[in-house]
Amino acid sequence: MMEEARAYEGLRVGFTAAVSHELRTPLARLLALLESADLPGVDRDTLLAEAREQVEQMSELIDDVLFLSELESGRQVVSLGGTAALPVLEEARDRLADSAERAGVAIEIDAAPGVQLPLRRRMLQVVVENLAQNAVRYAGPDATLTLTLRPGLLEVADDGRGVGEDELPRLFERFYRSDRARASRGSGLGLAIVKHVVASAGGRVEASGGPGRGLRVICSFPAP
């Protein structure tokens, strides 16, 4: 019991330190933007837009931290009956349509009709949107993102830039981001949340791919 308590305390301290570190960067950028507001010739509209982006990034991080905390404390019931999955995939595609168009990523759906997955609708939305948003952000121009649905299986795959094979085992760690991902917006918690939700429903998440071969994430669930 004492060993478990010490291990938990170590995780808690590490998580708190990681959150503090991740918040420090957008806060520093926001402070620098505000300090430059009175400089002569500054474009205040551009400065305001950049400041708003930093605030939104911090807000996204805080929302993800709170959501993950609720999952781990058991306050969110992950698996409760089944959810018809195709409408959730279609909603995610429509919600990401504008950002996908700006990124040059096409979104396609390959779904067997009538498939249900053993997640609450809200939890399934979290999984699909986090995986799809990750692909839209990092796949690169002219990539195609395919959302595949089969009984007991959700696959989100793109044919874009891919990631290094040495990075695959770390993709679902909290706050882990590749060097390329660090240059773009994101809390670094999206894939960790996906893994936690799927595992809480008795499922498993696996990632495969490589540089120039895109990224494929498969969420498999036990048979009902």
CATH of the domain at 46: 1.10.287.130
105 with 177, same domain: the answer is: yes
**Among 51, 73, 95, residue at a domain's last position:** 73
95 and 190 both lie in a single domain: yes
At residue 53, the pLDDT reads 77
Specify the residue for token string 């781990």.
72
pLDDT of residue 68: 63
Total number of domains constituting the chain: 2
**Are residues 60 and 150 both part of a single domain?**
no
What's the token pair of residue 14? Answer: 């590490």
Q: For residue 30, tell me if it sits in a domain.
A: yes
Residue 167 confidence (pLDDT): 85
Where are the alpha helices (H) located in 108-221, listed in sequence order?
121-138, 179-182, 190-200
Same domain, 214 and 138: yes
Please report, as a single letter, which amino acid is at residue 97: A
Closest-CA residue to 118 (of 105, 109, 127): 127
In a domain, 78, yes or no: no
| Beta-ladder partners of 207 | 217
End-to-end C-alpha distance for the chain, whole angstroms: 34
Instruction: List per-residue pLDDT tens for the chain, 224 residues long.
Output: 455 445 444 445 444 555 555 566 667 777 787 788 777 877 878 878 888 877 776 776 666 666 666 666 555 555 556 889 999 999 999 999 999 999 999 999 999 889 999 888 888 888 998 899 999 999 999 999 999 999 999 999 999 999 888 888 788 786 555 544 444 444 467 788 888 888 888 899 999 998 989 999 999 998 76
Q: What pLDDT sits at residue 201?
A: 83
Residue 118: both structure tokens together: 């053993």
| Residue range of the domain that includes 193 | 83-220
Report pLDDT for 159: 95
Q: Are residues 186 and 154 in the same domain?
A: yes
Q: How many residues belong to the chain?
A: 224
Residue 76: per-residue pLDDT: 53
Long-range contacts of 193-198 (CB under 8 A, 24+ apart): 193/64, 193/67, 193/68, 193/71, 193/126, 193/130, 194/126, 194/127, 194/130, 194/131, 194/219, 196/68, 196/71, 196/72, 197/71, 197/78, 197/119, 197/123, 197/126, 197/127, 198/127
